[in-house]
Structure 1
């Protein structure tokens, strides 16, 4: 069975642990890397070649929107799902600015939502 390789990007340890738990509870998804900054996410993405990046919008250094733009500009870009504490209304602007596939509020994120986001990204 195909494993979806997931890179997690968040600077808050508590939410990073929550992301690890969500990915671990979702069949066929596997954490291949964890980054705390936008810059670190770009380096790690080159090393681990993720299928999916779960990207916090608010990061130290380059933010999640800029990191997503840079990831999406690569020759074989990963699927990027933006995560934030901001409400759903912010999502359209974030998607337009970054080229991410989806935006999900952190409070709404869980195994079912993760699987749905991946499924939609695959057409």
Structure 2
């Protein structure tokens, strides 16, 4: 069984630190990198080949989380992108639903949720 390689993308350092801590304490998952913008996320994903990307919806610059997710998946269809934000589901931009990526409220991120997301895709146990 191999580890699930995770890239955390968020423009807010406190959330990146919190998400990284969750990944580190979740057996079978390993943090391979962090990024603070959509452009950094695309570059990091190309270099690091993560299995799972936890991607903020709102990112600075011309490439938001949804756009970055689309570019990453276009290059690596096996990558699993989970969009994260503090929006309630009813308040999400329509682009999130149209992306086909699952959504996770940032407050719900924990080890059990991380494993649950991974298993939802029918991927090997982490």
Question: Would you say same fold, with TM above 0.5?
Answer: yes
Does the C-alpha gap of structure 1 residues 118 and 90 become closer, same or farther in structure 2, counting only changes over 3 Å? farther
Task: Note if 1:114 corresponds to 2:107.
Answer: no
Q: Is the 8 A contact 1:6 1:31 kept in 2?
A: yes
Q: Distance in 1 between matches of 2:70 and 2:40?
A: 14
Q: Distance in 2 between matches of 1:74 and 1:106?
A: 26
TM-score (norm 2): 0.89
The residue that corresponds to 2:39 in the other structure is 39
- The CA RMSD over aligned residues, in Å, is 1.7
Q: Distance in 1 between matches of 2:64 and 2:77?
A: 21
The residue that corresponds to 2:73 in the other structure is 72
Q: Is the 8 A contact 2:46 2:72 kept in 1?
A: no
Structure of higher RCO (CA pairs closer than 8 Å, 6+ residues apart): 2
The residue that corresponds to 1:10 in the other structure is 10
Structure 1 unmatched runs, 5+: none
The residue that corresponds to 1:85 in the other structure is 86
TM-score (norm 1): 0.91
| 3-state DSSP of counterpart to 1:115 | helix
Structure 2 unmatched runs, 5+: none
Write the deviation string for residues 63-86 of structure 1: whole angstroms up to 9, x where unpaired. 001111111212444100110000
